[in-house]
Amino acid sequence: MSDEPGPEIVTHRLLLTRIAERDTADLVAMLIKPEVHEFIGGMTLTPLEATQWVRRWIRGSANPDVLWINYVARRSPGDQFVGLAQATVTLGQDHTGCELAYLVDPPAQHQGYGTEMMRGFHAELRDTLRPGEFTANILPGHTASEGVAKAVGLAPTTELVDGERVWRE
- Is residue 122 a contact partner of residue 156, using CB atoms and an 8 Å limit? no
- Residue 154 domain flag: no
Task: Return the CATH number at 119.
Answer: 3.40.630.30
Name the CA dihedral angle for 63, 166, 103, 19, rounded to a multiple of 10 degrees: 20
| Number of domains the chain contains | 1
1: pLDDT strictly greater than 50? no
The pLDDT, as a whole number, for residue 40 is: 76
Task: Please compute the mean of the pLDDT values over residues 88-115 and round it to a whole number.
Answer: 93
- Residue 140 domain flag: no
Q: What is the average pLDDT value for the chain, to the nearest integer? A: 93
- Residue 99 domain flag: yes
The pLDDT, as a whole number, for residue 6 is: 83
Phi–psi pair at 87, nearest 5 degrees:
-140, 135
Q: Give me the domain span that covers residue 47.
A: 8-133
C-alpha to C-alpha distances, 51 to 43, 48, 55, 85, 114, nearest whole angstrom = 15, 5, 6, 17, 23
- Residue 29 domain flag: yes
- Residue 128 domain flag: yes
Strands (E), 62-142: 66-75, 81-90, 97-104, 133-138
- Residue 73 domain flag: yes
